Structure 1
Amino acid sequence: MRDDLGEAYLGKADPIDDRIGARLAELRSQHGWSLGELAERSGVSRSTLSRAERAETSPTAALLNRLCHVYGRTMSQLLSEVETAPVPLVRATEQQVWEDRASGFVRRSVSPPHAGLRGELVEGRLTPGADIAYDRPPVPGLEQHLWLLEGVLEVTVGETDHRVEAGDCLRMRVFGPTRFRGTGPGEARYLLAVVRP
């Protein structure tokens, strides 16, 4: 069973989902918003928000993107906020990996987490046929450089479509919707450099 943003219902929450849920509840509380107010600001149903905060679901990338937009932070910032103490070096085996099982998207936070920095590196992997659409950027004017390492990726920025092949780099400043599609036949793997305005 899935709802309006396609989060997957879980029997038992992953520890990262527990920490994300707690952080989302904390952010809403810091802003003094009820679930209803957050639902109006984000366009996400109250029941979906409640389940995400209680870690009864594993939130999708689209859901987290909408909430990051409302709270004015990137997804990496949100995920870094559920980590322990910030460190200057993070080993490959310790880099946080988050998976949107419903869409076939895996996201690795390559950069050491630190909420105060403007730039970050993210590795993304999309299975063939994966299709992720964001209706808005988490932070308007976000600068992104997508370097495709393997596969083929179709990227739509606003009204413009781009076919990105291995070795290509797409630079974008995001103010509106974006869409990423893994066109196969193999997995699309990319490095994304993200710079907050």
Structure 2
Amino acid sequence: MDINTHLAERIRNLRKAAGLSLDALADKTGVSRSMISMIERNQSSATAVVLERLAAGLGLSLADLFSVNTATSEPLLRYSEQPVWHDPQSGYTRRNLSPPNAHAALQMVEVIFPAGARIAYETGLRQTPVHQQIWLLEGDMHITVGEQVYIMKQGDCLAFELNCQTAFHNPGQIDARYLVAIHN
């Protein structure tokens, strides 16, 4: 199954499991009912910003949308099996590194963020706090958390709670690559 088909099924199943209609999820997220419907039917490729809004509305992290629920939890996820997704708006690529486990408190994601790219998330408070750390492996990043701008260089690590608006900008001439560790 390709990643967009997985996202379509996952969002639909999570919405239904939460007892939310399309209208109710639209009201919670600010994403239009028609857009949610198109995403759930795999007729539209959602951007990272839209996926983040849907995840927050469902009480999850963005990484949770990419996870696979399995009956068994294998401790090893091979590189070739790690889900990879490309944001059609910003051009960033995310690879979910963590083995599928519905009960894992820690998830790891690798991100390749293109030179000059920007993205902003309107994340607000969640029922369950989501904490993340970003470790910059290559390149430069400017990460804004609320009103604070952090200018990151290779090797820097930033920890914060996803409870306010965040923005990412790669001011450099090369792609930035970083690891995100998410705890919820």
Describe the shift of the 1:178–1:83 C-alpha distance in structure 2 as closer, same or farther (beyond 3 A). farther
The answer as to whether partners of 2:115 and 2:170 remain within 8 angstroms in 1 is: yes
Equivalenced residue count is 183
CA-based RMSD of the aligned residues comes to: 1.9
**Residue 38 of structure 1, CA deviation:** 1.2
Are 2:131 and 1:143 equivalent residues in the alignment?
yes
Unaligned runs of 5+ in 1: 1-13
Are 2:26 and 1:39 equivalent residues in the alignment?
yes
TM-score between the two structures when normalised by the length of structure 2: 0.91
**Residue 121 of structure 1, CA deviation:** 1.1
The answer as to whether partners of 1:109 and 1:122 remain within 8 angstroms in 2 is: yes
Q: Which amino acid aligns with 1:41?
A: K
**1:111 match: secondary structure:** coil
1:80-103: per-residue Cα shift (whole Å, max 9, x none)? 136785421012222111110221
Describe the shift of the 1:165–1:185 C-alpha distance in structure 2 as closer, same or farther (beyond 3 A). same
Alignment partner, residue 63 of structure 2: 76
Identical-pair percentage: 39
1:120-163: per-residue Cα shift (whole Å, max 9, x none)? 11111110121111101584632111110110001000110011
Q: Which of 97, 100, 125 matches 1:113?
A: 100
Are 2:179 and 1:191 equivalent residues in the alignment?
yes
**1:29 match: secondary structure:** helix
1:58-93: per-residue Cα shift (whole Å, max 9, x none)? 111111111111111222222113678542101222
**Residue 168 of structure 1, CA deviation:** 0.9
**2:76 match: secondary structure:** coil
Are 2:172 and 1:179 equivalent residues in the alignment?
no
Alignment partner, residue 61 of structure 1: 48
Alignment partner, residue 126 of structure 1: 113
Q: Matches of residues 159-170 of structure 1 in structure 2 within 5 Å?
A: 159-170=147-158
- d(CA) in 1 for partners of 2:109 and 2:124? 16
The answer as to whether partners of 1:148 and 1:169 remain within 8 angstroms in 2 is: yes
Unaligned runs of 5+ in 2: none
Q: Which moved more, 1:182-191 or 1:69-78?
A: 69-78
Q: Which moved more, 1:67-76 or 1:156-165?
A: 67-76
Describe the shift of the 1:88–1:194 C-alpha distance in structure 2 as closer, same or farther (beyond 3 A). same
Alignment partner, residue 84 of structure 2: 97
TM-score between the two structures when normalised by the length of structure 1: 0.86
The answer as to whether partners of 1:68 and 1:138 remain within 8 angstroms in 2 is: no
**1:57 match: secondary structure:** coil
- d(CA) in 2 for partners of 1:177 and 1:188? 21
The answer as to whether partners of 1:128 and 1:185 remain within 8 angstroms in 2 is: yes
